[in-house]
Amino acid sequence: MHSIHQFKLRGINQDEIDFATYEGKKILIVNVASECGFTSQYKQLQELYEAFQDKLVIVGIPCNDFGGQEPGSHETIHTFCTRNYGVTFPLTTKVSILPPDTHPIYAWLTHKDKNGKLDSTVQWNFHKYLLDEQGALVAVHPSSTTPLDDVIMDWVRK
C-alpha cells in the first residue's frame, strides 16, 4: 500500500497516533533528538505547525540511533520539547530507524518497493519526509534543510 495512512504509532503520552486521521492534510515526519546540533529546529517546526495546522500535521518521531542524542525517557523528551520549544505537534514514543530493528514506518518511508516513490536513507536526526494529502510520499530532505526553508514552505503553501 502506497499510503502512510495505514500506520499507527504510540504517542509520547501513550495515546495512539493513527495516520488515517490525517487524510486530507499534508504530513511532515521528522526524526527528532533532544541533544543534537539540529535540535533548535523544534522552534521552526512549531512555528510551521502553528501557521499551517489547518492543512499540515507535523509528527516528531524521537530516535536514539544517531549519536545517542535522544537518550531520555518519553516523559523527559516530552518535558524538554514543551518547556524549551512549546511543542504542541504530535510526538511519538522512541523508535529505531536503523537495522536490524527498523520500525515498520521507517521501512515504508525508506523503501521504494513499499512507498511507491523512492528509496532513501536517514543520515541523521531531523531528516524530513513530506507526504501529500492522500498519504503518498512526495519528497525527502536532509537535516540541513530547515523547516522554514523555501522548498518546504513552497510545498506547504501549494
3-state secondary structure 43-57: HHHHHHHHHHCCCEE
CA-to-CA dists, residue 137 to 61, 124, 130, angstroms: 17, 19, 6
Active site residue 36: yes
- Cβ contact 106:140 at 8 Å: no
The pTM score is 0.97
User: Which stretches of the chain score pLDDT less than 50?
Assistant: none
Break the chain into its structural domains and give their ranges. Answer: 4-157
User: Which pLDDT value is given to residue 142?
Assistant: 98
Q: CA of 39: how far to CAs of 121, 131, 148, 157, in Å?
A: 20, 22, 14, 24
Active-site choice (4, 17, 36, 152): 36
Highest CATH level, class, for 4-157: alpha beta
Give CA–CA dist 65/99, Å, rounded.
10
Report the pLDDT value the prediction gives residue 63, as an integer from 0 to 100.
97
What is the pLDDT, as a whole number, of residue 129?
A: 98
Q: What is the pLDDT of residue 118?
A: 96
